[in-house]
Structure 1
Amino acid sequence: MTQAQPKARSSLLRNGDFLKFWGGETLSLFGAQVTTLALPLTAVLEFQAGPGELGLLGFAQWCPYLALALVFGVWVDRGRRRPMMIAANLIRMVLIGLVPLLAAFDQLEIVSLVIITAGVGMASVLFDVSWMSYVPTLVKGPENLVEANGKLGATSAAAETAGPGLGGLLVSALTAPIAMAVDAVSYLVSVVTLSLIKVREPRPERPETRRRLLPELAEGLRWVAGNRYLRAIALIGCFCNFLTIANNTLFVLYALQSQGFQPSLIGLTMSLGAIGGVIGAAFSGRVLAKLGVGRTYSAMVSTVFVGLVLVPVAGGPLPVVVAVFVLAYFLMYGGMSVANVVILSLRQTITPSSLLGRMTAAMRTLMFTGGALGAPAAGLLGSVLGLHGALWCIAAGAGLMIVAVVLSPVGRLKEMPPAAEPAS
């Protein structure tokens, strides 16, 4: 008994294929965090973009989830997922690499930046739908899924912690467009590591009848809409993304113009706040074991909304403003880090393998609809009410969403439910 327990805890550390996937994803996530800060800074510093332009840029990033996620979900369930992930990262590498190249020849404009952002968003949709369906191929069993998602969550949290700080330093030293070259290199490394995975992914069985896109697409939507846990996660996630993306769309401009932050201080503030994500990911398994599935979900998602409330509260001397911003992002990153482990493991546990791609696509479409609409809504609110007034509107919406989280059926789960079967 004493020898079996450590083996269970360290099993994925001896899974070479998972380690390759994990390593490549780590580097690409770090690069993506640099771009997350460098893109809006490029728009603000190079083109003097205001709330409206930043809202358009955010919409271009998230709109592909509305238009393409469901179609990509059908493709992912029809074939092998790893080749699609490799293709998605190659596309992102090329598009991100165009930004410093165009800037070097003085050809970068706000229109081209929006188009590149939309293209990167399309490739990100394909990659997200693929990798979330691919992980169960590398690891087996609910326990290993929780462990794998916890490790990937820790990686994401670490990237969110160090990425903005690194991005702020790179922007200050190299300019915002040149800083994005780091992201292009990270995607190249991810392509290499994905290519080195040895495990053979089984090809999905061909159905006896001819496949049709719309019925297959509708099957994924019906699966999510018909399961009360998935339905609740999708609806709350939609509003959560709407509010967080709206907040993030305005935050860079608010910190620069209203609070007098320098780019390096914005990156440092977000990096310090993102430490909450690292801590949350490191202790997600223990929190889940102690509180159970439902209470962990309710507490952590509510923590995200509390963080959003704190952003417009910040005022006074610069050190106080920095401290409140750090606390706000600490709560947002920490709560989402733990909540994502619960949400992703729950989705993968109760969904049959044949529906994983379409389930993921349907969930991403529904949840990221909020993200896509949050960016232009923030731009509109910022233009009408001012940056501070818009942030207070976002905070009011976050307060209301805490009530919805408490009433969610997911909050009443004590453990992972058994796998369900789709209706014939």
Structure 2
Amino acid sequence: MEDTAAAGSAAPRRRGGGLWRNRDFLVFWTGETLSLYGTQVTTLALPLAAVLVFDASAEELGVLRFLQLVPFLGLAMLFGVWVDRVRKRPVMIGANAARMVLIGLVPALSAADVLNLPLLYAVAFGIGVAQVLFDVSWMSYVPVLVKDRRHLVEANTKLSTTSSSADVAGPGVAGVLVNALTAPTAMAVNAVTYLLSIVSLLAIRTPEPRPAKPERRRSIRADLVEGLRFVFGSRLLRAIALVGCACNFFSVMILSLFLLYAVRGQHLSAATIGLVLGVGAVGGLAGSALSGTVIRRVSVGKAYLVSVSGIFVAPLLIPAAGGSKLMVTGVFIASFLVFYASLSVANVVIVSLRQTITPDPLMARMTAAMRTLMHGGGALGGPVGGLLAGALGLHEALWLAAVLSAVMLVPIALSPVSRLHEMPAPAPVP
């Protein structure tokens, strides 16, 4: 997630409690928690600003979302090459500073009455670029603070728990702020949280060693190929990457179909759908809180097998739901509870495994390759789901997507990750 103080901090005071004595990790965790809650405000306020201020159409909202995601596909691998060559903390500070300024521009431009939709598009794209840069960096930075890789599971459990709590509470807080302040003005709150995150990063004392310079100058292409070769050359990372791509593909497809099916097929209100997703997200919070215990009590492989299987099987409940609206709503909630709880445990296992296996000089490129595959899968899931719904109908498309998702149990059961008893040793530097 090397100095004497940091090494001492990693020594556990009690089982599972080692990081409570690691000051710098706690500072980093606090800053991340604040920015995650703030991000929930922008996640809601940015599209609402487009709708409420500019009366944006569904197509224009689609463009807004696309501009936030497309940097992952186009820039993640290039950023990964660069981040592996430099210290991560200054990059993270710069990325959050960029997000703070860009998000702060929205209320400022709105107050000056010069905000328009093209400017909102530009802000969305800029935020997406900065998010890619930060995401590629922070996963590579955690092992700098957590020197003993046996504590990476604990670190990722803590980070996952606050991420899940932000998913649960964040939309409600964001809704209150947007209602009270207007959508553009509410984004100022997010700008402040990024400022606090920057302060937390500046307060970290653990020295970050400069990455060793290669004996000979290497091209960006050579470094990029080396990163991809490492990921796809490792049977464990390759299995994680392909399953993760499929997971995002089916998750985005099914969620997109679910929203339409819940409104048009089951005639649920927006408030009921919000309740389904909000209560479902509580499963993610519970999964994050229990993930460390689960991993300690069963093998790494079993934790991976059960949690990832839950992600792919839970969607079967959605098209199977029937009866009264109350029963349908209850089954929908059960589906999302299982999905989010499984996803939280799986994320802790997978991220910890990736960080344990990967040598520090390749950490950012590994993360970038994973991010590119996963966001690529997610980007394809929405359009494919739309094509299926147009050809088969919403309910039939949901059944087909859910059944195909469940078929992923076969490669998951055969995966070498599912047979791991404990975290493997780090791979040698190529």
Q: Same fold (TM over 0.5)?
A: yes
- The verdict on how the C-alpha distance between 1:383 and 1:47 changes in structure 2, with shifts beyond 3 A counting, is farther
Q: CA deviation at 1:180?
A: 3.4
- Which of the pair has the greater relative contact order for Cα pairs under 8 Å at 6+ separation? 1
- AA in 2 matched with 1:347: R
The reply on whether 1:148 has 2:155 as its aligned counterpart is: yes
Query: What is residue 188 of structure 1 aligned with on the other side?
Result: 195
Alpha-carbon distance between aligned partners in 2 of 1:110 and 1:317, rounded to the nearest angstrom? 42
Q: CA deviation at 1:98?
A: 3.6
Matches within 5 A, 1:227-266: 227-249=234-256, 259-262=267-270, 265-266=272-273
Question: 3-state SS of the aligned residue for 2:377?
Answer: helix
Query: What is residue 302 of structure 1 aligned with on the other side?
Result: 309
Matches within 5 A, 1:85-104: 85-103=92-110
Question: 3-state SS of the aligned residue for 1:78?
Answer: coil
Alpha-carbon distance between aligned partners in 1 of 2:248 and 2:242, rounded to the nearest angstrom? 10
Q: Which of 41, 45, 49 is matched with 2:57 structurally?
A: 49
The reply on whether 1:418 has 2:425 as its aligned counterpart is: yes
Alpha-carbon distance between aligned partners in 1 of 2:130 and 2:92, rounded to the nearest angstrom? 9
Q: Which of 170, 182, 189 is matched with 1:163 structurally?
A: 170
- AA in 1 matched with 2:280: G
- AA in 1 matched with 2:14: K
- The verdict on how the C-alpha distance between 1:238 and 1:136 changes in structure 2, with shifts beyond 3 A counting, is same
Q: Which of 210, 215, 218 is matched with 1:203 structurally?
A: 210
Unaligned runs of 5+ in 2: 1-10
Matches within 5 A, 1:8-47: 8-42=15-49, 47=55
Q: Which of 30, 51, 63 is matched with 2:70 structurally?
A: 63
Unaligned runs of 5+ in 1: none
- The verdict on how the C-alpha distance between 1:195 and 1:332 changes in structure 2, with shifts beyond 3 A counting, is same
Alpha-carbon distance between aligned partners in 2 of 1:113 and 1:391, rounded to the nearest angstrom? 33
Alpha-carbon distance between aligned partners in 2 of 1:253 and 1:40, rounded to the nearest angstrom? 18
Matches within 5 A, 1:360-371: 360-371=367-378
Question: How many residues in Structure 1 have an aligned counterpart in Structure 2?
Answer: 418
Question: 3-state SS of the aligned residue for 1:397?
Answer: helix
Q: CA deviation at 1:352?
A: 1.0
User: What does the per-residue CA deviation read over 1:252-307, in whole Å, with 9 as the maximum and x for residues that have no partner?
Assistant: 56656664534x55444322211111111111122112221111111111111223
Question: Alignment identity in percent?
Answer: 56
Q: CA deviation at 1:372?
A: 2.5
Alpha-carbon distance between aligned partners in 1 of 2:263 and 2:48, rounded to the nearest angstrom? 10
Alpha-carbon distance between aligned partners in 2 of 1:34 and 1:265, rounded to the nearest angstrom? 21
Q: CA deviation at 1:165?
A: 2.7
Q: CA deviation at 1:155?
A: 1.1
Q: CA deviation at 1:26?
A: 0.5
TM norm structure 2: 0.87
Q: CA deviation at 1:407?
A: 2.2
- AA in 2 matched with 1:10: G
Alpha-carbon distance between aligned partners in 1 of 2:394 and 2:104, rounded to the nearest angstrom? 32
TM norm structure 1: 0.88
User: What does the per-residue CA deviation read over 1:114-143, in whole Å, with 9 as the maximum and x for residues that have no partner?
Assistant: 443322221111111101000111011222
Matches within 5 A, 1:278-289: 278-289=285-296
* Further displaced range: 100-109 or 337-346: 100-109
- The verdict on how the C-alpha distance between 1:405 and 1:253 changes in structure 2, with shifts beyond 3 A counting, is same
Does structure 1 retain, via aligned residues, the 8 Å contact 2:106–2:115?
yes
Q: CA deviation at 1:409?
A: 1.6
Q: Which of 73, 77, 81 is matched with 2:84 structurally?
A: 77
Does structure 1 retain, via aligned residues, the 8 Å contact 2:361–2:429?
no
- The verdict on how the C-alpha distance between 1:213 and 1:355 changes in structure 2, with shifts beyond 3 A counting, is same
- AA in 1 matched with 2:230: W
Q: CA deviation at 1:7?
A: 3.4
Does structure 2 retain, via aligned residues, the 8 Å contact 1:65–1:368?
yes
* Further displaced range: 393-402 or 198-207: 393-402
Q: CA deviation at 1:393?
A: 4.5
Does structure 1 retain, via aligned residues, the 8 Å contact 2:104–2:191?
yes
Does structure 2 retain, via aligned residues, the 8 Å contact 1:88–1:123?
yes
The reply on whether 1:274 has 2:281 as its aligned counterpart is: yes
